[in-house]
Amino acid sequence: MKSIVIIFPYFGKLPVQYKMWRESALRNPSVDFMFFTDADVEPAKNIFVHKMKFEEFRQYIQSFFEFPIVLDRPYKLCEYKQAYGYILKDYIKEYDYWGFGDLDLVYGDIRRFITDEVLNHKFILGWGHLTLISNDDDSNTYFMKNVTGYQKYKDAFGTSVITFFDEFGHKGCSEKWKDCRPQDCWLEVPFDNVSKPKQSYHFNSLSRGWKQILFEHKGNKLYMLRIKDGKLEKKESLYAHFQHRSFMKDRVKDYNHFLITPGSIIDFPNHFTMLRLRFYSRKRDLMTRYYQWKDRILWKAGKGHNR
């Protein structure tokens, strides 16, 4: 089995979904997770923690580049994600694959989807919430390769503006992999990127098209749920990503079986299950309009999301 480590440089307050993330990470014992952080992250058998301040990590990154980088806030680390294999090579040299991702998500059974056959590719998934890259010199330095029409890493690392260098859709590094080296890429979408509250407060899967959904996590399995024509349908997921939902509450007592709703994470209901699932997944147009209004106010105040 090919080895995998997912890297998390993270500084500041952990997201409300962190405990859920952690529980799902522990249920994937064949995958390692490595933190560089000043947050209260407890080590575990497959969770490794390197304690450091943001400024220490910034200086460490700077030591790998001859030009002055701009890393003026932790959020700017998004731009450097595809360089982690190069920057952190001494920490990850024992692994076949390294990756990066987000903490505002929950994993299902990672190896169910990321098989050794999938791991014959050099570049897997390609999204900011989860990407895996072959741990070799060619792959680890590909972010440096200048290709006409695509962003240059020196430009992305030399500005305080978020350029989306790590993502699709902005001629960044993922798009460079997809367009220039398609034979090396596995870009399936067995995951659910959930709608932002201003798009719909109720959950819609932006990546797989199901609407008014919930998520069930049982053991190490994650399922997207919907009620259609009066029947409950399930689809297994690699992970689900809950962006811009800092208002979620974690009320779980038993992480062996829990339910993720638009506003909270709760124990999976044992009574009146279909009735309650129907209630939790109902359409919430008024709440959607509220978050649209709130987002406009924040933008006008200069405090809106810039990613």
At residue 305, does pLDDT exceed 60?
no
- The span from the first CA to the last CA of the chain, in angstroms, equals 36
Instruction: Determine the Cα–Cα distance for residues 284 and 280; give it in Å rounded to an integer.
Output: 10
DSSP class of 70? -
**Strands lying side by side in the sheet with 192-193:** 105-107, 239-241, 192-193
At residue 25, does pLDDT exceed 90?
yes
Which conformational region is residue 234 in: left (phi greater than 0), alpha (psi within -120 to 50 degrees), or beta? beta
Considering the entire predicted model, what is its pTM? Answer: 0.94
Chain-centre distance of CA 228, in angstroms? 28
Mean pLDDT of 56-85: 97
Q: Which amino acid is located at 56 in the chain?
A: E
HEC per residue, 236-276: ECCEEECCCCCCCEECCCCCCEEEECCCEEEECCCCCHHHH
* CATH 3.30.43.10, applies to 4-186: no
Domain map (residue ranges) of the chain: 4-186, 192-290
Q: Which of 31, 45, 44, 27 is nearest to 222 (CA)?
A: 27
Q: Which of 140, 136, 133 is nearest to 118 (CA)?
A: 133
Where does the pLDDT of residue 306 fall: very low under 50, low under 70, confident under 90, or very high at 90 and above?
very low
Q: Summarize pLDDT for 143-196 with one digit per residue, the tens.
A: 999 999 999 999 999 999 999 999 898 999 999 999 999 999 999 999 999 999
At residue 232, does pLDDT exceed 80?
yes
Instruction: Determine the Cα–Cα distance for residues 102 and 80; give it in Å rounded to an integer.
Output: 14
Where does the pLDDT of residue 27 fall: very low under 50, low under 70, confident under 90, or very high at 90 and above?
very high
Backbone angles phi, psi at 288, to 5 degrees: -60, -45
The larger pLDDT score, comparing residue 299 to residue 50, is at 50
At residue 307, does pLDDT exceed 50?
no
Residue 182: CB atoms within 10 A of its CB come to 10
User: What is the model's pLDDT at position 302?
Assistant: 65
DSSP class of 181? -
> Coil, helix or strand for 21?
helix
